[in-house]
């Protein structure tokens, strides 16, 4: 709960001061079904002013889907390649 309040506080302070975060500007890529879009979203996090708070929240909650703090936490499905 502490991590959520910290993230919310940082997000509020950022927007109230006229700033923004990549996920607020365009949230769709952060939850996209496309790994390419999620990779671009993760890269967009690099300059985010609340990266630390986002990471702390995602870690504390055990987030295992979508992009959080520059990391795509979505599980991957691997298929075995066959040779012909």
pLDDT of residue 76: 81
Task: List, for residues 18-42, the tens digit of each pLDDT value.
Answer: 999 999 999 999 999 999 999 999 9
Residues of the chain with pLDDT under 50: 81, 84
pLDDT of residue 1: 81
d(CA 38, CA 30): 5
Q: What is the pTM of this model?
A: 0.83
10 Å CB burial of residue 34 (0-12, 13-18, 19+) is exposed
Distances (CA, A) of 40 to 2, 28, 61: 29, 11, 23
pLDDT of residue 82: 52
């Amino acid at each position: 709960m502490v991590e959520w309040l910290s993230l919310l506080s940082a997000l509020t302070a950022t927007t109230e001061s006229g700033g923004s975060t990549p996920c607020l500007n365009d949230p769709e890529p952060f939850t996209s079904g496309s790994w390419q879009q999620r990779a671009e979203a993760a890269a967009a996090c690099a300059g985010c002013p609340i990266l630390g708070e986002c990471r702390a929240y995602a870690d504390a909650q055990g987030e295992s889907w979508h992009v959080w703090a520059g990391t795509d936490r979505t599980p991957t499905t691997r298929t075995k390649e066959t040779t012909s």
